[in-house]
Chain A
């Protein structure tokens, strides 16, 4: 019967080709015009090379920091008011401590999941800063910071500084014996600045050390102000990334004028969502199985107490190391003291290092007279001077980092602490100086190597009819790049999608 109404089919027809989701999006597009921007976003091309995933580790560990951090703010009390602890941890029972410390112990022991959240927060922070550093190293060594991306390099470097600062602030919040020592060091560093030091220190601490205002102030900075700036700069970082499009390694079909890679939807979105969960999973594993910063063992901070073998978190290590190994120079005259042994390693040195990082793109442009726009990346071995400079800086920072554990090294290798200290002084100067020519040399050697820096290709072993075996290298290096990187046509806005080859979704997009 022709007038029998098939309700299901008619409903489907009423909804249109893309079903309920399409209908909703249509409604949104009618009002907000999301189609054009959404399509551009969905078609954003991500190069597939694995080293482009390093920055995502930082992004996702930052998300974990936000989520676990919100949980912690529900239980943490940012107050220096003195309370007497009566809780489940016997060795602290009856001790006087600040509310900040007591609430951190309580959230570790008395709140369900609190210790896991605290440890995940701490591990996510260690991973966050570490991922920023290796992402930055990738950008540096491949020359991705060159014109037109200098601004994004500066935004990223600022993010690194903010991450380090916020890590220090958060590490200080529990007000335990170890972090209190860190705050004291920060106070002394501010004091060491000539002329304004004491005024600045009193301004920051609201009076003399330790005072009662520094924990609430650090709390506001750590949970509100710095994260807001980080979120803003991360947005700017990603906006610039989308606006300027990704860089890519050179290869067949890849030019300065195009980007070859997977589109945001569906390929990259699937990859990156999976990666988000893996970052969360690794952080949760660390939080569950690896103890970090057991503040209950340290006890509350008190200016009269001190523990030996105190180091900061790893990203502050280079500062601590510089402070440890710097010779005791100071200036006393006309009733004034300038402690160069604090001022130089803790104020001047990081200032110089970060300024060098900021202006590096300009320095390199000046040296190479290269003002062209670069979208294709360098192999590190093809830019020996830049690579050597980067390795020099990293080895310098690495030596300072190692110097922050002089006592641990002395204990571990059973040698005199003084000898370790003196050798670290020499090594911090000598290793970077040696690193430059060695790296330079290695880069040249790699350049001369056939297929250097590429994966090794298998040899094809064949057996002849006589039973003789022979091995021939597979001819990968002859045509160098797999054929599936041939450019495929790109669908443009609103046009119906043409049938694609379905070959891993790799596309080429004009800039």
Chain B
């Protein structure tokens, strides 16, 4: 015969096990901490070149993608002098006077070495306002109002490129012939898994974010695809220039100026915003109407 006291103790212990078990387990899981790397800048895992149209130079670096949808141009060498001055003013305190990632009194490897990255990379980071970084020690350099003008960004990339001429050059997409529908399909296949299918961007792991694509100019979209800034993979041979062109067209037209009937877009937050509106406005207003129709004296 079991006493009620025993029963109560057993029930209590089971309940407390259920309540405390997850706490302990989560507490254990939280101990396994993670390590952050500044800018997550490994470029080793970039896209796999598999297109037969890709042309490489003797060092195995891709110099062309084989069709004329995008024109790749090196920045004008006339800008090199201006670029050198701008680099010393704005970039050298971290990247070093020789752009090799070694600042004065610093150690090698603390900041990215820019020599040989190609003008498209330099232009992207400066022109998008990510560089000069607001906080050099933060996990991410976020997009903001650019410190340098477009021409100044080109000048900086011209000077860095003059140290060791390299690829990719700055891409100028020709959007007239691009196919939006192909771009939409390629976007869903290659981009939506981070930038979301509506192009709004979202939080990725470990304090990194995929940026919103709503206001990015076409050259920067193409540069990002070809150079793979920060966490983004570098799409090289697996996307032809025509395909990149399609994606850029889709992003700069349908993502940035969507043909979007159906009323207010609710901030592109998807079902979270929809649920909020449905509950707060739909059910909430109807409950208020019920409150108005019904008796409420007690």
* A→B interface (CB under 8 Å): 47-54, 56-57, 89-95, 108-109, 115, 119, 122-123, 126-127, 130-131, 134, 177-178, 249, 251, 271, 274-275, 278-279, 282-283, 286-294, 297-299, 302, 304-315, 317, 327, 404-408, 410-411, 414-420, 422, 425-426, 429-430, 433, 454-455, 481-482
Contact = CB atoms under 8 A, between A and B. Distances in A.
B11 interface: no
Interface in B164-204: 179-185, 188-189, 192-198, 200-204
A309 B283 contact: no
Given A178-B197, A249-B298, A297-B198, A89 B287 contact: no
Contacts of B270: 178, 309-311
Contact of A50 (B25, B277, B293): B293
Contact of B193 (A47, A293, A308, A430): A308
Contact of B200 (A299, A309, A481): A309
A127 B280 CA distance: 10
Interface-central residue, B184, B206, B281, by most chain A CB under 10 Å = B184
Interface string B258-298: 11111111100111101111110111011101111111111
B25 to A, nearest CB: 6
B5 interface: no
B48 to A, nearest CB: 16
Given A291-B260, A327-B29, A429 B181 contact: no
Contacts of A127: 278, 282-283, 286
Contacts of A419: 207
Contacts, number: 237
A314 B271 contact: yes
B26 interface: yes
Interface residues of B, number: 71
Contacts of B266: 290-292
B202 A408 contact: yes
Nearest to A85: B181
Contacts of A177: 188, 192, 197
B287 A54 contact: yes
B205 interface: yes
A52 B274 contact: no
A48 B294 CA distance: 5
B298 A91 contact: no
Binding site secondary structure of chain A: helix
Contacts of B182: 94
29 contacts: A49-B296, A50-B294, A109-B261, A119-B263, A126-B282, A127-B282, A127-B286, A130-B279, A287-B263, A290-B263, A290-B266, A291-B260, A291-B263, A292-B266, A298-B198, A302-B189, A307-B198, A312-B271, A313-B274, A314-B272, A327-B26, A327-B29, A405-B272, A410-B203, A417-B203, A429-B19, A454-B298, A455-B296, A455-B298
Contacts of A406: 203
